[in-house]
Structure 1
Amino acid sequence: MKSITIEGQLRTEMGKKATRQLRSQELVPGVIYGGAKEITFVASAKALRPIVYTPEFMQAEIQVDGSTYQCILKDLQFDRVSDELLHIDFLELVEDKKVVATLPLHLTGTSVGVKAGGKLVTKMKSLKVKAFPKDLKESITVDVTNLELNGNIRVQDVVAGNMEILNSPRIPIASVVMTRQLKQEEATAPKAGAAAPKAAAPKK
């Protein structure tokens, strides 16, 4: 799993005035929770950018006041007007404690339905899982090779190793649908078993 290092500083002053001052220095307040104690810290907006603005799932090694915390991103708060990052929450990874995380889905293969002229439609881009930190992965791979025309791959079809998938099992992840061209071809094609047109009787 990919990992980035973030250097932070313990946050000593609270309140709106202190928060405004931090943001004027392009610092973002954050919290690390889930471990032995809650850590309140600040880090530069630039240092946080790689984990905030990416679809990838990664681990953050946060260094604060001489201590290092292995974490995953849990929550973000943005300004509604400026879209500026206002606050960030991290969940500390504890070896013997399961965590809930959202992992991106990665579809592989070319489905038989697509080869038959259909179109692959992705309906979910991520899954929510519960697992021990050692079992977390960058993504969940789903092979769509055997997905047929008008078929679906559902959450219940996904093999996720030691991770428990929390999404409803019947939700479709991907499907292959007919294209307009294929529908037209099927509509104009002669139906199997249809009688051939009779030849006109010769005139006497």
Structure 2
Amino acid sequence: MKQLSLSGSLRGNVGKKDAAELRRQGKVPAVIYGGSEQVHIFLEENEAKKIVFTPEVYVLQIDVEGKVYKAILQDLQMHPVKDTVQHMDFLEVVDGKTVKINIPVVLEGQARGVLNGGRLSRLFRRLQVEAMESDLPDAININIAPLRIGQKIRVGDLKYPGVKFLDPESAVVVAVRVARGAVEDEEEEEEEGAEGAEGAEGAEGEKAAEGEKAEPAAEKSEE
């Protein structure tokens, strides 16, 4: 998984009042947990934006006054109106322990069913997985090119070495739904192939029939 470095500072005080003051100064309160101790820090707003407004997922190297913590973003709180970051939770990555994280889903190719008029339905943009940090993929890549109308890919169909998917196996990740005229288009493709074969057989039959009719005509001319 991709790595990204951030810089943070230790908080002098912990509490709602201190957090509110940090936000007024354009800073983002945060906590690093999951290791031997909780570490309360704050980030400059520009540092926080590096990982919030991006579709990428990173393993973070957070430098807190000279001490570096390896962590992943586990949760964040956004202001309901201003769309600014209010608080961030980082889970420390500990050697020998698995981590749970949401990984983005990337669809590759164009589904056959969509080319025939079907409608692509994407139900997950991220999937929750559990794995060792070294096994975490940057994204869950799914080839949808073979999908025909009515076909779907479920969580249980996805296989990544060392990665356990935590969403239900029966959950549909992506599907090609029926749209008006779509079924007819796919059926026509199959029917055209059948009609071509039937046409060839019909032509051969007609030629044979013409040959049969020609024989009596030849006998008549001999008389």
TM-score by length of 1: 0.85
Sequence identity percentage: 35
Query: What pairs with 1:112-127 in structure 2 (closer than 5 Å)?
Result: 112-127=112-127
Preserved contact between residue 9 and residue 41 of structure 1 (Cα < 8 Å): yes
Tell me, in whole angstroms, the C-alpha distance in 2 between the residues paired with 1:134 and 1:186: 44
Whether 1:111 and 2:108 are equivalent positions in the alignment is no
1:185 is displaced (CA, Å) by 6.2
1:77–1:87 CA contact under 8 A, matched in 2: yes
The 5 A counterparts of 1:9-158 are 9-158=9-158
Note the aligned Cα RMSD (angstroms). Answer: 2.5
For 2:96 and 2:46, locate their aligned partners in 1 and report how far apart those are by CA, in whole Å.
Answer: 32
Shift of 1:94: 1.2
Which protein is bigger by CA-based radius of gyration?
Answer: 2
The answer for the alignment partner of 2:178 in structure 1 is 178
- Deviation at 1:186? 8.4
- What is the number of residues matched between the two proteins? 192
Q: Tell me the distance in 1 between the aligned counterparts of 2:143 and 2:13.
A: 51
On the 8 A contact 2:8/2:42 being kept in 1, the answer is yes
Structure 1 range deviating more: 177-186 or 70-79:
177-186
Between Structure 1 and Structure 2, which shows a larger proportion of helix residues? 2
Tell me which amino acid in the other structure corresponds to 2:92. Answer: E
Aligned to 1:169: 169
Distance 1:80 1:114 in 2: 37
Secondary structure class of the residue paired with 1:138: coil
Residue 194 of structure 1 corresponds to none
Question: Mean alpha-carbon deviation: is it higher for 161-170 or for 175-184?
Answer: 175-184
Query: Once the two structures are superposed, what CA deviation does each residue of 1:30-83 show, in whole Å capped at 9, x if it has no partner?
Result: 000111221111110111102011222112210002110111100111223333
| Residue 21 of structure 1: how far off its partner (Å) | 2.1
Other structure's SS at 1:174 match: strand
Cα drift, residue 137 of structure 1: 1.3
1:172 deviates by: 0.8
Name the SS for the 1:14 alignment partner.
coil
Runs of at least 5 residues in structure 1 that lack an aligned partner in the other structure: 192-204
Is contact 1:95–1:134 with CA below 8 Å preserved after alignment?
A: no
- Separation of aligned partners in 2, 1:131 and 1:168: 16
- Deviation, structure 1 residue 183: 5.2
Letter in 2 for 1:48: A
User: Shift in Å at residue 91 of structure 1?
Assistant: 0.6
Distance 1:121 1:64, change over 3 A: same
Cα deviation, residue 130, structure 1: 0.6
Deviation at residue 12 of structure 1 after TM alignment: 1.6
For structure 2, the residue ranges without an aligned partner over 5 or more in a row are 192-223
